[in-house]
């Protein structure tokens, strides 16, 4: 069992990481006395896996418990779903003394967090992430929001949860593609912040891929420690928090160009390799370091090249409309060695073209 604090003063909260944590959410929440009654929000798939046991667990702890579900998938992460869920909360008589529990992956966490931020101008919420991606990234740090037709996550709020329960055991039933999705973000933490952690990921790859729960708990905890430290220093992404976008500048462009057919983590993997190439091109990173990153990325089964059919001008079009582009200049997070990064908007267009062309294998 590990407990990591996200140090945000009066809004500080714990990340509770433990095999079996899901089974003790009720008793732990009872002790923390955050709310009397909880509404669990889950998509229909995750509800089928864990909804009933979580409700029973809350009930056994003497906490009131209700359940709201919505259809699985990114298509549900919109204002219409928020409106629908808010009406259902109102009909249940939910008020500011009650709380929400987001049970699921990133879509559920983002949607439920945003609902909690705006329902009655803010009610408490708890994160219970059930994917690796959500456990190491989206459930920590208070970025909540929904998509609109003009773009992903364009409507949202910084709104911190009151506690996050992370149970590595739920990863045993996660599809392999979903594991890979999260592993790209895991590798990201090593590159931006912690060389020994990167080395551990390289050395323990087989144990991680066969989902050894001991090593997974250690890996998740280190990612959460890094994310907690970064968020505590810069909650609203004025400065340091931008390092968490390593691999996301070109990654997002490739993801968007694929019509979101390419999973986020796979796009981030390509984006990390691209960022390392840009860093080599700018004389910031040794070629051997970039090669080592590529080796680790591909050893995990993550992609390091841009999929066929995505043409460079199309990808570059998405670079221009990204949230990370200000005044027409995209900012990039570039490694200066494995374990440290710098942020720059001074990457030449010619170099970007060269790297995109190289990653397309031309």
* Catalytic residue annotation: 121, 143, 185, 227, 237, 241, 245, 248, 252, 264
DSSP reduced 3-state for 43: strand
* Minimum CB distance to ligand GLY, residue 135 (Å): 13
Q: Are 84 and 92 in contact (CB under 8 A)?
A: no
* Minimum CB distance to ligand GLY, residue 343 (Å): 13
The Cα angle at residue 106 between residues 3 and 130, in degrees rounded to 5? 55
The Cα angle at residue 305 between residues 303 and 310, in degrees rounded to 5? 115
DSSP reduced 3-state for 150: coil
DSSP bridge pairs for 128: 103
Q: Which CB sits closer to ligand GLY, 74 or 237?
A: 237
Q: Which CB sits closer to ligand GLY, 26 or 251?
A: 251
Q: Which CB sits closer to ligand GLY, 47 or 144?
A: 144
* Minimum CB distance to ligand GLY, residue 284 (Å): 22
Q: Which CB sits closer to ligand GLY, 212 or 235?
A: 235
DSSP reduced 3-state for 99: strand
What proportions of the chain, in percent to the nearest 5, are helix, strand and coil? 55, 20, 25
Distance, in Å, from the CA atom of 81 to the CA atom of 321, rounded to the nearest integer, reads 26
Alpha-carbon 354 to chain mean position:
29
Q: Are 271 and 247 in contact (CB under 8 A)?
A: yes
The Cα angle at residue 128 between residues 126 and 131, in degrees rounded to 5? 145
Of residues 211-240, those binding ligand GLY (CB under 6 A): 237
- Compute CA distances 334 → 59, 343, 361, whole Å: 49, 6, 21
Distance, in Å, from the CA atom of 170 to the CA atom of 172, rounded to the nearest integer, reads 5
Q: Which CB sits closer to ligand GLY, 137 or 289?
A: 137
Q: Which CB sits closer to ligand GLY, 81 or 160?
A: 160
Q: Which CB sits closer to ligand GLY, 26 or 247?
A: 247
Half-sphere exposure of 24 (CA within 13 A, CB side): 12
* Minimum CB distance to ligand GLY, residue 12 (Å): 17
Alpha-carbon 295 to chain mean position:
23
* Minimum CB distance to ligand GLY, residue 247 (Å): 11
Of residues 63-82, those binding ligand GLY (CB under 6 A): none
String marking each residue 106-145 x if it binds ligand GLY according to CB under 6 A: -------------------------------x---x-x--
* Minimum CB distance to ligand GLY, residue 141 (Å): 4
- Cβ within 8 Å of residue 321, ≥6 positions away: 151
| Residue of 146, 244, 302, 333 that binds ligand GLY (CB under 6 A) | 244
* Minimum CB distance to ligand GLY, residue 27 (Å): 29
241 binds ligand GLY (CB under 6 A): yes
How many residues bind ligand GLY, per CB under 6 A? 6
User: Under the rule (CB under 6 A), what is the footprint of ligand GLY?
Assistant: 137, 141, 143, 237, 241, 244
């Amino acid at each position: 069992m590990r407990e990591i604090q996200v140090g945000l003063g009066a809004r500080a909260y714990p990340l509770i990481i433990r095999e079996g944590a899901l089974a003790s959410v009720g008793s732990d929440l009872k002790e923390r006395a955050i709310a009397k009654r909880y509404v669990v929000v889950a998509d229909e798939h995750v509800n089928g896996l864990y909804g009933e046991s979580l409700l029973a667990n809350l009930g056994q702890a003497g906490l009131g418990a209700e359940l709201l579900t919505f259809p699985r998938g990114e298509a549900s992460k919109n204002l219409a779903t928020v409106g629908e869920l808010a009406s259902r909360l109102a009909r249940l008589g939910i008020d500011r003394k009650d709380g929400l529990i987001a049970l699921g992956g990133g879509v559920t966490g983002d949607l439920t967090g945003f609902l909690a931020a705006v329902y009655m101008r803010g009610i408490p919420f708890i994160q219970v992430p059930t994917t690796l991606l959500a456990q190491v990234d989206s459930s920590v740090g208070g970025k909540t929001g929904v998509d609109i037709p003009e773009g992903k996550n364009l409507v949202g709020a910084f709104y911190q949860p009151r506690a996050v329960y992370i149970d590595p055991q739920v990863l045993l039933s996660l599809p392999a593609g979903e594991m890979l999705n999260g592993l790209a973000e895991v590798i990201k933490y090593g590159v931006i912040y912690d060389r020994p952690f990167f080395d551990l990921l390289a050395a323990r790859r087989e144990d991680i891929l066969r989902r050894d729960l001991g090593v997974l708990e250690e890996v998740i905890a280190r990612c959460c420690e890094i994310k907690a430290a970064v968020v505590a220093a810069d909650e609203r992404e004025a400065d340091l928090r931008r390092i968490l976008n390593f691999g996301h500048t070109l990654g997002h462009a490739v993801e968007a160009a694929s019509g979101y057919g390419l999973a986020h983590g796979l796009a981030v993997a390509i984006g990390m390799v691209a960022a390392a190439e840009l860093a080599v091109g700018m004389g910031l990173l040794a070629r051997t370091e970039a090669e080592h990153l590529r080796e680790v990325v591909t050893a995990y089964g993550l992609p390091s090249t841009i999929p066929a059919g995505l043409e460079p001008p199309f990808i570059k079009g998405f670079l221009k409309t990204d949230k990370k582009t200000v005044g027409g200049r995209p900012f990039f997070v570039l490694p200066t060695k494995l374990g440290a990064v710098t942020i720059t908007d001074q990457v030449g267009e010619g170099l970007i073209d060269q790297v995109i062309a190289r990653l397309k294998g031309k």
